[in-house]
Amino acid sequence: MASHADEPNRRDFIVIAGNAFAAVGAAVTMWPFIHQMNPDKSAQALASTEVDLAPVKTGQAITVMWRSKPVFVRNRTAEEVKAAADTPVKDLPDNVSRNANQPPNAPATDANRTIKGKENWLVAVGICTHLGCIPKGQALGDEKGEYKGWFCPCHGSHYDTSGRIRKGPAPRNFDIPPYAFVSDTKIKIG
């Protein structure tokens, strides 16, 4: 069981945006420590983490750590889902889904970047594909860019509500990590 002495370190690794309260599983908070103590490649390959989505209300987002990377989890509004779904793939600078759960050449439709029946959830590695900055857009008051998804202030890359690059120097969409729903309100990443 975690002690109070653990709390400051936990906050270093988990960012809760908006009014979403910390409800990510213990595996989420523990992984960075495990990772630091055990850098063995085979252990890294097995790493997975479960995330409780129940506290993340519509329009809110949380950031969790998975294999030392920030993963953005956004509970998208109906408008955000529609904007993403209505965007023709031909309008996208990167027209490949970049989804570890899809074939490598799957087109970058919103459907191919989400899970059927759970389209409100966008789960993506939150690292700009240009030079690796962490884009803004997770907190409710953040600048989200011209496409209302995420904005990378380092060199001005704009991502849409599906985490797809739309404008700026970033060459690729956010990566979608391998993940699945293990219950109606919980996902397992990795």
Task: Write out the catalytic residue numbers.
Answer: 155
Q: Please pick, from the candidates 169, 172, 175, 186, the single residue that binds ligand FES as defined by CB under 6 A.
A: 169
Site string for ligand FES, 90-129 (x = CB under 6 A): --------------------------------------x-
Pairing of strands 148-152, 165-167: unpaired
Judged by CB under 6 A, does residue 133 bind ligand FES? yes
| Residue 172 vs 188, nearer CB to ligand FES | 172
CB 187 within 8 A of CB 53: yes
Which residue among 24, 152, 165, 189 contacts ligand FES (CB under 6 A)? 152
3-state secondary structure 82-129: HHHHCCCHHHCCCCECCECCCCCCCECCCHHHCCCCCCCEEEEECCCC
With beta carbons less than 8 A apart as the criterion, state whether 18 and 139 touch. Answer: yes
Work out whether 166 is an interface residue with ligand FES (CB under 6 A): no
Summarize as ranges the residues that interact with ligand FES (CB under 6 A): 128, 130-133, 152, 154-157, 168-170
